[in-house]
Chain A
Amino acid sequence: MKYTQEHEWLRAEGDIIVVGITEHATTQLGDIVFVELPETGTTVAKDDEVVVIESVKAASDIMAPIDGEIVEVNEALGDNPSLVNEDALGAGWFFKIKPSDPSQLDGYMDEAAYNSLIS
């Protein structure tokens, strides 16, 4: 598992990367009430805004951590956005992306580095 400065997690499933946000992020955001996901098949560039999450407090953008193609999105969040609060690292995932340049992952933090960032 890799982590970004923006509190996203990235988990490899074969050659696909699953992306979500950390429990620390969900705690900061509060109760999530809406998630707007990208369309499957969209080609995105690193730092593109690909997901909008709305908590009871405010809207936040989630950026694509790497270049690639969105190959699947978590449709369950449409009806049940609170999955992000309940299971941020599991059922609350946002999208799966097929990297066009896997070396972009190298710059991200491991769990120990991320834990020291948020501690």
Chain B
Amino acid sequence: MSELLHTALYDLHVELGAKMVPFAGYAMPVQYPMGVMQEHLHTRAKAGLFDVSHMGQVIVQGDSYDAAALALETLIPVDILGLGSDRQRYGFFTNDAGGMMDDLMLANRGDHVFVVVNAACKAADIAHMQANLTGVTVTEITDRALLALQGPAAETVLAALDPKAAEMRFMDVATLTLAGVECWVSRSGYTGEDGYEISAPAANATALAKQLLAHEDVAPIGLGARDSLRLEGGLCLYGHDIDTQTTPTTAALNWAIQKVRRTGGDRAGGFPGADTILAELAGGATTKRVGLLPQGRAPMREGIALFADETGATPIGTITSGGFGPTVGGPVAMGYLPTDLASNGTTVYGELRGKRLPLTVAPMPFTPANFKR
């Protein structure tokens, strides 16, 4: 693994007994001795600490917040200008065909936009912003780690370090003092649980992580459980559930595009692929991302072809994420289906080891979201 990059927490992961695997160019912990299943259940019951420092942290700064927001709105079909101070929002970069180049989080931090992007896409995302945004500076923050503290105990744990943590609502951002250092904190995450993401100076990240882990309710959680948590939460994994071939409407992400950017809105369009995206927002798309519950116990994973019936020769769709959901207690999946077969309750068939096995189209999330709104 000598060619892989290390996050600031690498030594701590090794010390904690993590199994390290290559992920997006980094050596990352896929699991700790607790194991994926228990790590998942622990996060939903108490709190899990995740190292997500491989993700890209970017500051987009203009003459004002509004200037930076308006610049970003030329690449992202989301209301960034209208995002309140100290508030955060989900979004994505789109391409000229209306596909998605990456999904991301955007925060209004007063005089700049703080952007968090996926690790595998961050170099391309930064180049994309630098090439296409005028009048702003795009700066990758490389001297800060990113931790996620997720689960019902997260508030109690973090508020013990800085009581202001308890005052934040879902999707608020704030600057907190944790373990004696300034941290940029959002009340969000990617597990379907309440929790926080914490950008901390890399030099202090291990000390902060150890302080959080010292709480009896907090356990370190690897990428394996992160994946099953986000899948149960119905959340898309870029490069799997969404990519350059999927549009916001096919991906069932219409909710992320506010009215002000849609046809008839004050700042309608003006982003790559607007013609396609606005037309689909108004008229729908022919395929749709849906939740799928295999009717048996066998997990049905990414890449499995979906069929309308037990005998049809032509696949109608594909599973894009799937596996065992520890909280659900059975297999869960998501994938794409023709819109006319995408209603909840519809039975479709996945081909697994030569057999057609039934799945039911089901609403997501598969586990209730526990956000503090």
Also in contact, A34 and B324, with CB within 8 A (given A52-B353, A56-B228, A78-B297): yes
Least CB distance from A31 to B in Å reads 4
Closest partner residue, chain B, to A35 (CB atom): B297
With a cutoff of 8 Å between Cβ atoms, the chain B residues found around residue A31 in the complex are 35-38, 324
Instruction: Tell me how many residues of A have a C-beta within 8 Å of chain B.
Output: 12
Which residues of chain A (45-98) have a CB below 8 Å from chain B?
52, 54, 56-57, 59, 78, 81
- Report B310 CB to chain A, min CB distance, Å: 18
Task: List chain A residues, Cβ under 8 A from B214.
Answer: none
The B interface, classified by DSSP as helix, strand, loop or mixed, is mixed
Task: Report the separation of the CA atoms of residues A32 and B208 in the bound assembly, to the nearest whole angstrom.
Answer: 34
Q: How far is the CA of A113 from the CA of B139 in the complex (A)?
A: 58
Q: Is B273 an interface position by the 8 A CB rule? A: no
Query: In the complex, which of the residues A30, A34, A56 contacts B297, with contact meaning CB atoms closer than 8 Å?
Result: A34
Q: Is B350's CB within 8 Å of the partner chain A?
A: no
User: B323 in the interface, Cβ–Cβ < 8 Å?
Assistant: yes
Instruction: Give, as a whole number of angstroms, the nearest-CB distance from B346 to chain A.
Output: 24
Q: Which residues of chain A come closer than 8 Å to B37, judged between CB atoms?
A: 30-31, 33, 56
Which 5 interchain pairs have the tightest Cβ spacing? A31-B37, A33-B324, A56-B36, A54-B299, A34-B298
Q: Which residue of B lies closest to A81 (CB)?
A: B297
Cβ-based interface call for B31 (8 A): yes
Do B324 and A54 touch (CB < 8 A)? yes
The answer to whether the Cβ of B338 comes within 8 Å of any Cβ in the partner chain is no
| Contact call A30/B299, Cβ cutoff below 8 A | no
B253-310 at interface with A (beta carbon < 8 Å): 297-299, 301
With A and B bound together, what is the CA distance between A34 and B299 in angstroms? 7
* A-B contact sample (13 more), CB < 8 A, given A31-B324, A78-B297, A81-B297: A30-B35, A30-B37, A30-B224, A31-B36, A33-B297, A33-B299, A34-B297, A34-B298, A34-B331, A36-B298, A52-B298, A54-B298, A56-B324
Report chain A residues within 8 Å CB of B323.
Answer: 56
